[in-house]
Amino acid sequence: MSEYLLEMRNINKSFPGVKALQNVDFQLKSGEVHALLGENGAGKSTLIKVLGGIYNAEQGEIFINGSQVTIKNVSDARSNGISIIHQELVLVPHMTVAENIFLGREISGKFGIEGNKMRRESQKMLDRFDLGIDAGELVGNLSIAQQQMVEIVKAISFNCKILVMDEPTSSISDREVKALFDIMRNLTAQGVGIIYISHKMSELNEVCDRVTVLRDGTYVGTRVVKETPREELIHMMVGRELSSYYVRDHVENTETILKCEHIDDNRKTKKRVNDVSFEIHKGEIVGFAGLVGAGRSETMECIFGLTPNFTGDIILDGQKLNIKTPVDAMNAGIAMVPEDRKLDGLYLVQSVSFNSTIEVLREFIKNLRVNHNREREITQEFIDKMHTKTPSLEQTVGNLSGGNQQKVMIGRWLATNPKILILDEPTRGVDVGAKVEIYEIMNDLTKQGVSIIMISSELPEIINMSDRVYVMYEGRLTGCINWQNLSQEAIMKLATQEN
């Protein structure tokens, strides 16, 4: 028996024009959670895809339990006990949990598919982790977190020894993260090795044993998580000293620019905004904290004109606004970068240029004339301002990394010259380097007089970037905290209303 459950040696893989992996080594022990860290484009996904048989490496060897294996395709990977849970869920929403778990290898007997048997088997597996999910439920009816659990159960049902999880916590709430970590510990206790990819540094300490860092397709190093300070890991990832992680020059007692009073969504069912009043000062970053579903995004949707029947007063610069549609909000100087950039924000099949200028077409399309030079100028201006990394203005946005997609999104809204910029989860799925850049940009913007409303579920981000924080709980504002008094405990107390 070898020391390592999995060993990858000297892996090389290149794509036209890019060396995606160069002599990368990786070792996984049985029963450990091993984090794979690196900025987007560092080669994490490529390495995982080589392991999973989606890509074939040009060079390199893979050993499992000390014996060499060849992984040419997905079924090779599977028969070697490797399961991958991808970032995007790949369940069929219109099928039941059991049907999803047995998708592609349905149990069939003499009389066709044996639905009941599949259901019983699935339920047994689900109960092993005490998940409280019914195997007969349609997947579409489950929460994202529950779907994630189903993915994991599905992966384990292949009798996997090596489980890869690609950013599993990017779309679930803190409480659900805890349940996920419990399952992971349960698995490692059974000898499974887990490779864990995440951008959230805070999760490393909680759940990971060792960490391997990749940068620009090369192996940087492997450390034991408990013995390594966070700064060192960040340094390993970005390859340069970051002056500081969070950049914020706090402001205080500036004039009020936006005042929202008694905002209410007037929904009969699923009411999420209940008499919310707050104000924003010039050049401030105001955080909105709360649990998932507390009504933060919904409040902003009212202000941005996406909720038709809302009531309440919105007063910007002393003038009362009548906002019925997003166009009204934009004309008044309010911009909003939505939470889910892929779903609500970007045109993934279109170019960077198309995505950057869709709000400001007026500036270069007039009387059947398209001024392409002006279009390029605008695009370039915001690429420069946001430090977006893209090979060309015509690059398809879907092919950019998460951080760069987010920069394109923010840049698009800056093109409208907003007074109030609403950012909903601005750094979700964004790597560390780009995160710091986004913080810097936010700080710069406030210096130019823009006020920023930031909704975020990452408490460290809220605590370190905000001048003031409003906390919401079940559609109501439960408090406001100044930056001097911010702490995780203070926020969580207001966010859960537990004493």
Partner 1 sequence: MRAIKKYLIDNLGIICALAGMILFLYLWPATHATFLTQTNIFNVLRQSSTNLMLACGMTMVIILGGIDLSVGSIIAMSGVLGAATVVWGGMPEILGILVALLSGLIFGLFNGLVIALTSIPPFIVTLASMNIAKGIAYVYSGGRPIRCMTNAWKFLGAGYVGSIPTPVITMTIVFVAAILILNRTRTGRHIYAVGGNNTAAKFSGINTAKVKFFVYSFSGLMAGLAGITIASRLYSGTCTSGDGAEMDAIAAVVVGGTSMAGGSGKLGGTLIGVLIIGILNNGLNLMGVNSDWQYIIKGAVILLAVYVDFLRSTKKAK
Which residues lie near partner 1 (CB under 8 A)?
15, 304, 306, 325-327, 329-330, 336, 338, 343-350, 354, 358-359, 361-362, 365, 368-370, 412
- Of the two residues 202 and 331, which places its CB atom closer to partner 1 in the complex? 331
- Of the two residues 200 and 376, which places its CB atom closer to partner 1 in the complex? 376
Q: Tell me how many degrees the CA angle 436-440-445 measures, rounded to the nearest 5.
A: 145
Helix (H, G, I), strand (E, B), or coil: what is residue 173? coil
- Of the two residues 199 and 412, which places its CB atom closer to partner 1 in the complex? 412
What is the dihedral sign for C-alpha 414, 416, 420, 424?
negative
Rg over alpha carbons for the chain, rounded to the nearest Å, is 24
- Of the two residues 315 and 348, which places its CB atom closer to partner 1 in the complex? 348
- Of the two residues 136 and 326, which places its CB atom closer to partner 1 in the complex? 326
CB of 304 to partner 1, least distance (A): 8
- Of the two residues 102 and 304, which places its CB atom closer to partner 1 in the complex? 304
Backbone angles phi, psi at 320, to 5 degrees: -80, 130
What is the dihedral sign for C-alpha 44, 46, 50, 54?
positive
Q: Tell me how many degrees the CA angle 425-198-171 measures, rounded to the nearest 5.
A: 40
CB of 350 to partner 1, least distance (A): 6
Q: Encoding tokens for residue 262?
A: 């008694």
CB of 57 to partner 1, least distance (A): 15
Type of residue numbered 209:
D
CB of 72 to partner 1, least distance (A): 17
Of 64, 65, 1, 4, the residue nearest 29 (C-alpha)? 4
Stated as kind and residue range, the H or E segment containing 455 is: strand 451-455
CB of 89 to partner 1, least distance (A): 18
- Of the two residues 337 and 386, which places its CB atom closer to partner 1 in the complex? 337
* Largest Cα span, the chain: 77
- Of the two residues 169 and 353, which places its CB atom closer to partner 1 in the complex? 353
- Of the two residues 245 and 364, which places its CB atom closer to partner 1 in the complex? 364
- Of the two residues 36 and 314, which places its CB atom closer to partner 1 in the complex? 314
CB of 388 to partner 1, least distance (A): 18
**HSE, side-chain direction, 13 A CA sphere, residue 371:** 14
- Of the two residues 83 and 355, which places its CB atom closer to partner 1 in the complex? 355
CB of 176 to partner 1, least distance (A): 24
- By the 10 Å C-beta count (0-12 exposed, 13-18 middle, 19+ buried), 308 is classed as exposed
Q: Encoding tokens for residue 256?
A: 């009020």
CB of 285 to partner 1, least distance (A): 21
CB of 377 to partner 1, least distance (A): 17
Q: Integer distance in angstroms from the first to the last C-alpha of the chain?
A: 52
| Residues contacting residue 290 through CB under 8 Å, at least 6 positions apart | 296, 471, 472, 473, 495
How, if at all, do strands 112-113 and 162-166 pair?
unpaired
Alpha carbon distances (Å) from 148 to 87, 88, 220, 360, 429: 10, 10, 30, 39, 16
CB of 331 to partner 1, least distance (A): 9
205-239 in b/e burial notation, b at 16+ Cβ within 10 A? eebbbbbbbbbebebbeebebeebeeeebbebbbe
Contacts 24+ apart (CB under 8 A), 176-181: 176/143, 176/145, 176/148, 177/203, 179/145, 179/149, 180/145, 180/148, 180/149, 180/152, 181/206, 181/207
Q: What share of the chain is helix, strand, coil (3-state, %, to 5)?
A: 35, 25, 40
CB of 131 to partner 1, least distance (A): 31
